[in-house]
Amino acid sequence: MTYSNSRADLRLAIYRQLAATGEVHTPASLAAEFEISPTEAAAELKLLASEDDAIVLLPDSPYIWMAEPFSAVATDYKVTAKDGRHWFGNCIWDALAIGALLDTETEVETRCPFSNEALTLSTNAGELSGSTSAVVQFAVPARDWWKSIGFS
């Protein structure tokens, strides 16, 4: 197995576990799955973030923050599947994308940042229903999205 193929496999393992369980890999859990050391797993995660732009790590750590559209930390964009699995999106865009990526029916729960009114959306194949009169706001122009992905 080449180095790059190994990293591709590792990236896919992260996504498959998130999709199946909502749980995010750590260096130790990847090390166990791929029979490498935790130090090697941490190095691979850093390369996935810096070289492949595939994931985002928490600042100054080897731990995953984002594997877009999934967030490894709780956010105000909760996504729940019919079978009880749940995830968090990094933003409303990502929350809507999770059901589409997994080809599964989801409910997206968030709140209006001004009124705090609950907003709920249901995704099912190509259909979107629920609080569809709500509006989307992007503060950051597209060319600057990756300058501070957390804020964007």
Partner 1 sequence: MQLFRSEVDVQAWSECTGQPIGACFELAKLWTLARTWYDDRLDLDWRRRNIAERQALLTAAGLTGPFWELG
Cα(12)–Cα(152) distance, integer angstroms: 25
Size of the site for partner 1 (CB under 8 A): 46
Chain residues 5-34 in contact with partner 1, contact rule CB under 8 A: 8-9, 11-12, 15-16, 19
Chain residues 97-126 in contact with partner 1, contact rule CB under 8 A: 97, 100-101, 110, 112-115, 117, 119, 121, 123, 126
Determine, following the binding rule CB under 8 A, whether residue 149 of this chain makes contact with partner 1. no
Contact window for partner 1 (CB under 8 A) among 23-31, 38-46, 57-65, 131-139: 131-139
For residues 57 and 48, is the Cβ–Cβ distance under 8 A? no
Count CB neighbours of 59 within 10 A: 8
Buried b (16+ CB within 10 A) or exposed e, 15-43: bebbbeebebbbbebbbeebebeeeebbe
CA distances from 29 to 50, 118, 146 (A): 21, 36, 28
Determine, following the binding rule CB under 8 A, whether residue 135 of this chain makes contact with partner 1. yes
Q: Which residues bind partner 1 (CB under 8 A)?
A: 8-9, 11-12, 15-16, 19, 52-54, 67-69, 91-94, 96-97, 100-101, 110, 112-115, 117, 119, 121, 123, 126, 128, 131-143, 152
